[in-house]
Amino acid sequence: MHKTIILAFLLITICLLGMSVKRVDITNEKSNSELWKEDIDYYKSTLKDKHINLYHSINNVVFNQKIEDLTNKLSSLNKHEIMVEMMGITRSIGDGHTQFSAMGGPHEHYPFSLEWVDGKIRVMAASTKFKNLLGNELIAIDGVPLDEVLDKINPVIQGVENKYSLRSGYRWHLNVSELLYGLHITSALGHATFTFFDENKSRININANAISMNEFMSDVIHRLSLDRGIFSHPDIKKTDGLWLSVNRPLRTAYLHFSNYPSRSEMQSFAEDVEDYLNKNNIQNLIIDLRENGGGDFFLGLLLANHLILVDGLNWNNGIYVLIGGHTYSAGMSNAAQYRSILNATLVGEPTGANPIGYQDADGFTLPNSKRYVQYSKRMYRFQNNSTNGVIPDHHIINDWESYATGKDKQLAYITSLIRKARDNDVQ
């Protein structure tokens, strides 16, 4: 009996403690709206404190009103809709390095890359399962026509400084599940129906499930690429994004430069390139920055410091730089600098980043949602006049035919100039 009373007392005590703990949890629990309001307040105050010039393109009254409008409707929005709203507000700040990216938190991608090519949105990379879609033209997502999709997504694409970076931005926005769902383009999270025109202009519907970023990077391995022809074999390779190929009969070197290594790696690579160009009596140099989305432009200057020592190069008209819409941030900076300090001729399309503007990004994490926010710290002027992108000296487009056939028209244009100059010298 005594044991039974003790046991009953203990059970009652545990229950009361549980009820007490539960009441404390309820009392201290904050609503989703309150948590997001804290994040938005932190976002606003931190940007004001950290950004070099937050109101360079948007009036502070307008910015504050956008923040207030979002705060007032938080209770009616889900987290994906809030993300979209924050992306729109951040985009309105007006510089490409200030971003609230859809990839700044948990996210998934559909297993193909949808990219702007020659006025169409096409599948340019895909996983093995969807390899047969390569080259197909996107016409709708979950029944929403492409024009309407772009009308919805264009105002929230991050990293935009001109129409060229807007177009290049489709690659990392049109396949993000959370973004498409938050924009009410798709009706379900993580699953969508994509409608394409195939090569015969027949409509096909493809059901796809979103995959993690890690899976995307490992699985999406099939890409429509351009044939580099005589420069297909690296003679010096530091990384997949930094290597040199030489064609001795043409006395020309092609330097693929799509990302930035460490300083020590760049120092080693630059020394090797300088030595190799000298020993092989190279006269012409083509630097490909078309896929260079940025990094530390001082490393690009370190490379230039060694290139300038190669006396055998044709410093009058033998240095070329390939640029395009994906040439961004430090990639754009180096393109403008190479035009000046290497007397380079720029070929391709205008860069996605503007030569006068804010960049050199840093960032912070929101306290509750843990989403990452990026902001600009510096203002740079890489040319005297303001233009939408660094404008090439020779505007050459790699159109859809280029990708369909694999012919790199921009690179071929440069080699034709080099051959013409060589033939003229012989005569």
* pLDDT per residue rounded down to tens, the chain (427 residues): 443 333 333 333 334 334 333 333 333 456 799 999 999 999 999 999 999 999 999 999 999 999 999 999 999 999 999 999 999 999 999 999 999 999 999 999 999 999 999 999 999 999 999 999 999 999 999 999 999 999 999 999 999 999 999 999 999 999 999 999 999 999 999 999 999 999 999 999 999 999 999 999 999 999 999 999 899 899 999 999 999 999 999 999 999 999 999 999 999 999 999 999 999 999 999 999 999 999 999 999 999 999 999 999 999 999 999 999 999 999 999 999 999 999 999 999 999 999 999 999 999 999 999 999 999 999 999 999 999 999 999 999 999 999 999 999 999 999 999 999 888 876 5
Does a structural domain hold residue 23?
no
- Candidates 369, 372, 367; CA nearest to 74 is 369
Around Cβ 217, how many Cβ atoms within 10 Å? Answer: 11
Examine the domain organization and report whether 406 and 263 are in the same domain: yes
pLDDT tens per residue across span 223-262:
999 999 899 899 999 999 999 999 999 999 999 999 999 9
Examine the domain organization and report whether 255 and 296 are in the same domain: yes
Does a structural domain hold residue 83?
yes
Q: Give how many domains the chain has, as a whole number.
A: 3
Burial pattern 58-72, b for ≥16 Cβ within 10 A else e, equals beeeebeebbeebee
Examine the domain organization and report whether 79 and 116 are in the same domain: no
Q: What CATH number does the domain containing 184 carry?
A: 2.30.42.10
Examine the domain organization and report whether 422 and 299 are in the same domain: yes
Around Cβ 243, how many Cβ atoms within 10 Å? Answer: 20
Which residues, in sequence order, are CB contacts of 48 under 8 Å at separation 6+? 54
Q: Which pLDDT score is estimated for 10?
A: 37
Which residues, in sequence order, are CB contacts of 220 under 8 Å at separation 6+? 111, 112, 113, 125, 126, 127
Examine the domain organization and report whether 185 and 247 are in the same domain: no
Query: What is the β-pairing status of strands 137-141 and 191-197?
Result: antiparallel
Examine the domain organization and report whether 340 and 250 are in the same domain: yes
Does a structural domain hold residue 74?
yes
Does a structural domain hold residue 7?
no
Identify the domain containing residue 116 by its residue range: 108-223
DSSP string for 217-282: HHH--EE---B-GGG-S-SEEEETTEEEEEETTTTEEEEEE-S---HHHHHHHHHHHHHHHHHTT-
CA distances from 71 to 25, 63, 81, 151 (A): 25, 13, 13, 24
- Candidates 264, 60, 239; CA nearest to 255 is 239
Examine the domain organization and report whether 81 and 186 are in the same domain: no
Q: Which pLDDT score is estimated for 156?
A: 99
Does a structural domain hold residue 22?
no
Examine the domain organization and report whether 387 and 248 are in the same domain: yes
Q: Which pLDDT score is estimated for 427?
A: 57
Does a structural domain hold residue 366?
no
Query: What is the β-pairing status of strands 319-323 and 345-348?
Result: parallel
CA 113 – CA 107 distance, rounded (Å): 15
pTM above 0.85, yes or no: yes
What sign does the CA torsion over 157, 161, 165, 166 have? positive
Examine the domain organization and report whether 257 and 218 are in the same domain: no
Burial class (CB in 10 A: 0-12, 13-18, 19+), 279: exposed
Q: Which pLDDT score is estimated for 400?
A: 97
Examine the domain organization and report whether 264 and 292 are in the same domain: yes
> At which of 223, 256, 274 does a domain end?
223
Q: Which pLDDT score is estimated for 351?
A: 99
> At which of 208, 223, 238 does a domain end?
223
Does a structural domain hold residue 413?
yes
* Helix H or strand E segment including 120: strand 120-126
Sheet with 252-257, strands from edge to edge, namely 236-239, 242-247, 252-257, 284-288, 319-323, 345-348, 394-395
> At which of 43, 72, 100 does a domain end?
100
Q: What CATH number does the domain containing 343 carry?
A: 3.90.226.10
* Phi, psi (deg, nearest 5) at residue 315: -80, -5
Examine the domain organization and report whether 251 and 339 are in the same domain: yes
- The DSSP secondary-structure symbol of 171 reads G
Q: Which pLDDT score is estimated for 13?
A: 39
Q: Which pLDDT score is estimated for 49?
A: 98
Does a structural domain hold residue 92?
yes
Examine the domain organization and report whether 177 and 72 are in the same domain: no
Would you give the distance in Å from CA 222 to the centre of its chain? 19
